[in-house]
Amino acid sequence: MNIVGICALAVVTVILIAALRPKNAEIALLLGVAGSVLILAFVLSQAPSVVNTVNSIVAAAQINTGCVAILLKVIGICLVTEFAANTCRDAGSQALAGNVSLAGKILVTITALPLYADILNAVIKLLSYS
């Protein structure tokens, strides 16, 4: 399945949701969740090639692999957070969506904290040269 299939799946799902919503709102919501889960699962099944390419480039350039691990972890946190926030927004509870988004931002900052120490060390090293 390619992007055409994904778009067709989304359109069919949204038509079914629109048909189902006045009668049975809960199952319409779950239908939306199922559609987004299917699309994401399909897209992520093709993502390992991207991760492998990034890892090989980093290994060839001899950059510290800890940075790349943190980067990938941050991408994963963003993905999960956005999924949950979009689902909450779909169900009509904006406050929950906003709070999940906020929690994601804070966790991204916490995950990226070791990089700040790296940046500070680099700055100190540069200053000691001058």
Partner 1 sequence: MDVELIFKIAAVGIIVAVLCQLLIRSGREEQAMLTSLAGLIVVLTLIVSQISGLFRTIKQLFGF
Whole-number Å distance between alpha carbons of 49 and 5: 21
Q: Which stretch binds partner 1 (CB under 8 A): 76-84, 91-99, 102-110, 117-125?
A: 76-84
Residue 91 binds partner 1, judged by CB under 8 A? no
User: What three-state secondary structure class fits 93?
Assistant: coil
Cβ proximity to partner 1: between 44 and 120 the closer is 44
Residue 115 binds partner 1, judged by CB under 8 A? no
Q: Can you tell me which of 18, 37, 102, 119 binds partner 1, judged by CB under 8 A? A: 37
Residue 63 binds partner 1, judged by CB under 8 A? no
Token pair for residue 19?
């048909």
Residue 20 binds partner 1, judged by CB under 8 A? yes
In angstroms, what CA-CA distances link 46 with 1, 23, 51, 82? 11, 37, 10, 19
Q: Which stretch binds partner 1 (CB under 8 A): 45-53, 56-64, 93-101, 114-122?
A: 45-53
In angstroms, what CA-CA distances link 110 with 49, 74, 89? 27, 10, 25
Whole-number Å distance between alpha carbons of 25 and 92: 11
Residue with tokens 């956005």: 82
Q: For residue 24, give the H/E element and its range.
A: none
Site size for partner 1 (CB under 8 A): 34
Residues at the contact surface with partner 1, assessed by CB under 8 A: 1, 9, 12-13, 16, 19-20, 23-24, 26-28, 30-31, 33-35, 37-38, 40-42, 44-45, 47-48, 51, 69, 72-73, 75-76, 79-80
